[in-house]
Amino acid sequence: MKAPSTFSATLLLSTHCPHCSSLLESLSTLVKSAELRHIHIINIEAAPEIAQKYAVRSVPWLKIGDYILTGVQDIAALRQRIEWTKNKAELVGKFDLMLSNAQAYQVVEIIQADNSKLDAILQLLEDPATIMSSRIGIGVIMEEFADTKLMQSYRERLEKLLEAKEIRIRADAAHYLSLTASRQAIVALKKHRKDDNADVREIIEDSIDVLSELKT
């Protein structure tokens, strides 16, 4: 017997949407089979601000984990996204355990074999609940991939973390932006020069100095 899912889905629909009812029916089937925990259903006619928040242009609009789907979807496609979300969560948990046990270089080897798995490290970085020992390991990994195209590909995501509520996350993001070797990050860093925390402000200035020295 499979364990019940811990994942939920958010569905945006409208009263006159021709495909919303069939998608809702498929999602209900997945809830009944415990493949989804619950569905958060929003009618954008009653809550247009939600559509604006997610920049939704058409419905049905569905979010499962990090995956966004629009239009008609069969149940196989929904199950695939649930499985991908589950695999991502399991990888994050695995890396968290390894990092907390000082196995950062083993994690580096895994990411070198499959660069897409660095995404799990970013998820740990973004999570306020990530413990200090894991955060130290995250630092080791980010240093290992410094000045690479892989790090550059996460520049915009790191820039968004400059707005995080947690001081530690903002500070880490500011430092890791200096490892992207991308002068484009200077713009975002300068916008946050007046951060409420002195340590974060200092790290931002250090990162600006590092990136300003780059020729390109």
pLDDT of residue 28: 95
Residues 6+ apart with CB under 8 A from 98: 104, 106, 107, 137
The pair of structure tokens assigned to 2 is 């499979």
Does residue 110 share a domain with residue 63? no
Answer yes or no: do 50 and 113 share one domain. no
| 54 in a structural domain | yes
- Which spans in 54-74 are helix H? none
Q: Which long-range contacts (CB under 8 A, 24 or more apart) does 45-52 make?
A: 45/14, 45/15, 50/12, 51/12
Mark whether 137 and 178 lie in a shared domain.
no
Choice among 1-15, 69-83, 120-134 with the minimum mean pLDDT: 1-15
Q: 145, 168, 191: which is the final residue of a domain?
A: 145
pLDDT for res 5: 61
Give the Å distances, CA to CA, from 125 to 43, 44, 119, 157, 176: 33, 32, 10, 11, 11
pLDDT (mean) for 46-74:
91
Domain span at 41 = 9-73
Q: Does 92 share its domain with 58?
A: no
**Cα end-to-end span (Å), the chain:** 56
pLDDT of 1 > 50? The answer is: no
pLDDT of the residue at 49: 95
Co-location of 109 and 156 in the same domain: no
What's the mean pLDDT in 77-105?
Answer: 90
Contact 65, 18 (CB under 8 A): no
pTM above 0.85, yes or no: no
**Which two structure tokens, joined as six digits, stand for 199?**
């340590």
Same domain, 115 and 156: no
- Rounded to an integer, the average pLDDT of 158-174 is 96
Has residue 79 been placed in a domain? Answer: no
Residue 1 domain flag? no
Q: Over range 5-15, report the average pLDDT.
A: 88
DSSP output for 201-213:
HHHHHHHHHHHHT
Q: Residue 3 — pLDDT band, cuts 50, 70, 90? A: low
- The pLDDT of 93-101, averaged and rounded, is 93
Q: State the total domains in the chain.
A: 3
**Does any domain span residue 2?**
no
